[in-house]
């Protein structure tokens, strides 16, 4: 993953292991075309393959009325966990993931 291309972005994300149906809800801290870094209450291990649903808010700059806002765009992706960080005194874990497939739009 090329770090210089990441942009700060708070997006909701749901993660689950490919061989499991337990869904973990997390939030991204930054996002790029190569992957993302998120925080989660549940740890994963480097090398884990995960399915994720990334909810990217669509915004309409310059429009004041909320009726002009589009709903979130939901992308389904397969990712591989690159690293897991302890958050120090903050709760949860930092998880860096790299996309392994092409984007598929759900909504």
- CATH number for the domain spanning 64: value is 2.40.10.220
Q: What is the pLDDT of residue 103?
A: 62
Domain count, the chain: 1
* Mean pLDDT for the chain overall: 81
Please state, in angstroms and rounded to a whole number, the distance separating the CA atoms of residues 25 and 40. Answer: 7
Paired tokens of 2: 């090329």
Work out the angle at residue 38's Cα, subtended by the Cα atoms of residues 16 and 99, and round it to the nearest 5 degrees. Answer: 65
User: Residue 60 is part of which domain span?
Assistant: 3-105
Count of CB atoms within 10 A of residue 96's CB? Answer: 21
pTM listed for this prediction = 0.77
Residue range 49-66, pLDDT digits in tens? 999 999 887 764 444 444
């Amino acid at each position: 993953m090329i770090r210089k291309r990441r942009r700060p972005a708070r997006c909701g994300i749901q993660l689950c292991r490919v061989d499991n149906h337990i869904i973990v809800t997390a939030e991204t801290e930054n996002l790029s075309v190569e992957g993302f870094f998120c925080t989660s209450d549940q740890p994963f291990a480097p090398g884990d393959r995960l399915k994720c649903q990334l909810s990217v808010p669509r915004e309409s700059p310059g429009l004041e009325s909320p009726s002009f806002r589009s709903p979130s765009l939901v992308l389904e992706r397969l990712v591989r966990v690159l690293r897991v960080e302890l958050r120090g005194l903050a709760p949860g874990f930092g998880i860096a993931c790299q996309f392994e497939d092409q984007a598929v739009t759900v909504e």
